[in-house]
A and B are shown apart, each in its own frame.
Chain A
Amino acid sequence: MSLASHLPSRSVLLGLCLLIAAGLAGIGMSALPVLQFGGTYADWPLSSVVNPQQLLTLAGLGLLIGQMGMTADGQVPALRRASVSAPRLRWIGCAVLLVGLGLGLAWREPILRLLAPIPGAEVTGFLTGPIAGLLTGLALVLPAGWRARLSLTLILPAAALLALATALSDPTLHAANYMRWALATELWIIAVFALVATLVRHRAAITGGRILASWMIAISLLYGGVEVAVRKTAIAVPYPPVSDSGAYPGFDSLLRRLDGEGN
């Protein structure tokens, strides 16, 4: 079976190209003010989304949703053989993704408290990005049977952590529109990859997804490992910790010194 025989019609491809072009135009326009004022990539609000780590996770989530209901050979089984039809399964996947994003933002504090014991959590964005990538990669690399069962379960926490990673890596320091635009861009990227995965029903697409997943797992583990190894020791408090006991916790030594100056 050739790959060409699995490609969608010209009109569908045109629609997909328009979607991609519209998104790229939007992203380009968001970069214009930065370029206008001589800013760099780090000044661009969407730099937290359009970076290699985040893009791989978004691509992975898109493939995961787009390939829902497909068998290992890239085929979509007939409706009567599957308990839920493939398109419906994809819509459920989209809904779970949105719920996950919402939960990540709504339960920000409890989730961060859960991740706080990770060494150097406060300077590594609580490793939310790498963990989101790891969960997405795990879901993608699973054999078809396991993937069907576990995808939805893994998309939920992955999306929640993705939302948190986006919030924590805000380069604008809480600009009013940042989260809105960042999440919209992320959803657009996921949608593009999901559509491509939906349209290309070929065994090679499933294999490609698995290979991408192995990269995502490797990158997430290395990313996490190196963040913990490097950042944990990079930011050390340059002064001794203050005592939290006494009449004026934290200020006792300073007050004693001031008293001494007075004499």
Chain B
Amino acid sequence: MSSPSLLSRSRLPVKAARAVVPLAILCLLSAPGLAQAHIIQGETGGFLHGFEHPLSGLDHLLAMFCVGLWGAQMGGRSVWTMPITFPLIMVVGGLLGIAGVPIIGIETGIALSIIVLGGAIAFRWHPPAIVSLAVIAVFAICHGYAHGAELPAATDPADYAIGFVVATGLIHLAGIAVGLFFQRIRGGELSRALGGLIGLGGFYFLVAG
């Protein structure tokens, strides 16, 4: 797999970026309630609550979506190795969360995951597979920890776990589908624009978190 320099292929589609960036900033500023690099406090439920968790937090949603989008952009085996690696490593973070092992900076890590993954898509960063999987793995631990920390408090923890893993996987699949579709339009420029947009959104979560 080729690994071109980051900067040599890093120009965003300028027209698209000009159009969408102000709109994105406006959307993010008008939705402060969505700033939830969230480890939910209080009572949690079963399957539906677990399913809802990655969907209800924009931070999780964007990062998961980026995993699929990045995989689709890289193409080849990355289309499936990345969405497979993510839940498998997420378990490690989940188990750490269940065990109550204190890890600092989880919410910062989640916000960074959006920035890095969005940036990787925007700059069309195609590192060797092992590097991309390592990047995914680090962030998967952060997201898994956030989910896992809630599990023991859930009314039905087992079904809660099933719910959030299935939802996470479905968001990956949505990312792959959108990514594969966008790759056919204007040489993947739309994917890059979307990645840039999401990456910028990550800065908001970093500041708000």
A-side residues, CB < 8 A to B, are 51-53, 56, 141, 207, 210-211, 213-215, 217-219, 221-223, 225-227, 229-230
Contacts and interface: CB of A to CB of B under 8 A. Distances in A.
A227 B161 CA distance: 11
Contact of A214 (B87, B159, B163): B87
20 contacts: A51-B159, A52-B166, A53-B159, A141-B84, A211-B83, A211-B172, A214-B88, A215-B169, A219-B161, A219-B162, A221-B91, A221-B94, A221-B95, A222-B95, A222-B161, A223-B162, A225-B91, A225-B94, A226-B157, A230-B157
Interface of B: 47, 79-80, 83-88, 90-91, 94-95, 98-99, 148, 151-152, 157-163, 165-166, 169, 172-173
A158 to B, nearest CB: 18
B158 A226 contact: yes
- The 9 nearest A-B residue pairs measured at CB: A222-B161, A218-B87, A214-B84, A226-B157, A52-B162, A207-B80, A221-B91, A223-B158, A226-B151
A216 to B, nearest CB: 9
A210 B80 contact: yes
Contacts, number: 80
B162 A56 contact: yes
> Dominant SS at the A interface?
helix
A129 B161 CA distance: 14
Given A222-B95, A226-B157, A230-B157, A211 B165 contact: no
B14 to A, nearest CB: 35
A211 B169 CA distance: 8
B161 A210 contact: no
Given A207-B79, A215-B166, A226-B157, 10 more contacts: A52-B159, A52-B166, A53-B159, A56-B162, A218-B88, A222-B95, A223-B158, A223-B161, A226-B151, A229-B98
Contacts of B157: 226-227, 230
Contacts of A52: 47, 159, 162-163, 166
A53 B162 contact: yes
Contacts of A219: 161-162, 165-166
Nearest to A212: B169
Contact of A222 (B80, B85, B165, B172): B165
B99 A229 contact: yes
